[in-house]
Structure 1
Amino acid sequence: MIQPSTGKVAIVWDTKHPEGYAFLPKGRKDVGESLEQAALREATEESGYECQFLPLDIPHHCPKGSAPSRNPSHEPIYVSVIHNGPHRRRHYIDPGTEYFTFWYIAQIAADAIPRDDTRMPDEQSYRTELLSYEQASAALFQFGTLEQLQVLNVAYDLWTQSLKDAESANRGGQSTGGQTTMMN
């Protein structure tokens, strides 16, 4: 989650870990819930901040035969896969499962104040900080995972490029193609 007015990133800390553990909000989807609904719900639950998707100019390729385009999108920016297993069961070996995570970019308002009543019972030790990109990168590198550091890098690069494209379009310059959107 990015706060566009300040450029800060929401990093969640699990304070029950004595050495510290930093992460980007994520979680599982509920039955009947879309991936997008789950992403916004989990981000709000874990961070305490109400959020919405941040429309960005995400490079993508249209159907076969069309030219590449850039249009404001709420698509996932990154997909990661973790293999969980195998596990020995009573009479057989469970080959395990694959855990897919679809990463989105959300934004929080300039005047956003985190709420303490959004977290699940097992998340009461979570605390959220808004950090500069450099501070967030250092926190994830030292106290998080390299995968989440990569997600942060991709998200922040997409956001800053979208800002540059919008500024270029507003000055009458050429954007990288397609529509541009101002982030506020």
Structure 2
Amino acid sequence: MLIVMAGLPGSGKSAVAGMLGRSLAAPVVSVDPIEAAMWRAGVARSQPTGLAAYIVAEAVADGVLAVGRPVIVDAVNAVEPARAQWRSLADRHGVRAAFIEVVCPDPAVHRRRLEGRSRGIEGFAEPTWEAVERLRDEFAPWTDQRLVLDTTADLTSTAATALEFLARGRD
């Protein structure tokens, strides 16, 4: 199974992805550390490293799926081309693409999370609240079936809801 996390920065998708990865013994392939690694390797920030990070994440996820293991992709996935990329990857392997959109509907909580986090990704600056608000305006409407997770609930129950959704898809 290809599990595709989506949502705005600071919404809690990486926390949920990590918990799912531990529960399912599935690797989590996260786009932000990949992009930061490109910058550390000398690829100029003026290059399309965001797009390149999605392509690298796809290649890594492809390798995991090729050996018959589930994989979790952790990225914003705000636009249809990104979502289509994951559907295509799942189709190539004959597995389900399970989309999980993570939302934090309380703006004060969301902003506090964003501004208080430090993921420790060397060379990667956390986005500003203003950047997140701009991205929210650009977030494409969904056409895929997906689970929408409200992360104002505690992480354990949120992850349990996601695990139930994933288990239903295997039936």
TM-score, with normalisation over the residues of structure 1? 0.27
Q: Relative contact order: is structure 1 or structure 2 higher (C-alpha 8 Å, sep ≥ 6)?
A: 2
Higher helix residue share: 2
TM-score, with normalisation over the residues of structure 2? 0.28
Higher strand residue share: 1
